[in-house]
Amino acid sequence: MGFYERALSKINRGGNWDMIVIDGVVGVGKTTLMNIMSEKGYVRFEEPVVDNPILEKFYYDRERYSFPLQIFFLNKRFKHIKEASKVKDAVMDRSIYGDVIFAKMLKDSGEMCNEEFELYAELFENMIEHCKAPKLLVYLETSVDAAMDKINKRGREYEKIVEREYWEKLNSNYRAYFEQYNISPILKINVEGLDFENNEKDKKYVLGLIEEALGKIK
């Protein structure tokens, strides 16, 4: 059993929460899709990036800030998902389920020491025991080049300084994680070349896939 599968095995198996989680690498369009779904009546729960005092520091000194950043995210995501679990038709931009992807990548690269990672993993497992799985997880797939192009266009300076190797490792870890993900129905959508923010045909295509997946669950 791989690390991701082992960590997720701790989840509460007593049914599913009434929420859709959208996940994928940085720049893939998670927030955009969440906003589109909120226009359809879903209640949005956005990833805690705007008020994050550590995120920008992390990109300039990953070894120094990897552990406090992951603890910050883990804490906020646990709080977020508890709030979302009380709402009908919640939609989340990332969540606690995939938080381990970043932590494991940072540990494997030596930017988080083993002791820090073990503490993080223990905290994650303690928290995930109190979480149920979402009714559907939507994984947006794309290439590293396409993700980097979107990252550069949105213009966050602290993201633009990051070397390509980091984004390649992140994409690789995401694919490994979702090969082992088994706690809920999952819909994988390759969004390479799609513009579901501005192109109505692409938007209908993506929303249609989600509605079809939800229909199968019901």
- What amino acid positions are annotated as catalytic residues? 93
The total of other beta-carbon atoms located within 10 Å of residue 76's CB is 17
Confirm or deny that 94 is annotated as ligand binding. yes
Sheet of 90-93: strands edge to edge?
43-45, 90-93, 12-23, 132-141, 186-190
| Residue whose tokens read 């791989």 | 2
Nearest to 135 by CA among 98, 91, 105: 91
Confirm or deny that 31 is annotated as ligand binding. yes
Confirm or deny that 29 is annotated as ligand binding. yes
Confirm or deny that 155 is annotated as ligand binding. no
Confirm or deny that 194 is annotated as ligand binding. yes
Confirm or deny that 180 is annotated as ligand binding. no
Instruction: Report the alpha-carbon distance of residue 65 to residue 53 in Å, rounded.
Output: 11
Strands 12-23 and 132-141: parallel
Confirm or deny that 49 is annotated as ligand binding. no
Confirm or deny that 32 is annotated as ligand binding. yes
**Please, are residues 5 and 182 in contact by the beta-carbon 8 Å criterion?**
yes
Q: Write out the binding residues.
A: 24-32, 47, 59, 70, 94, 99, 159, 194-196
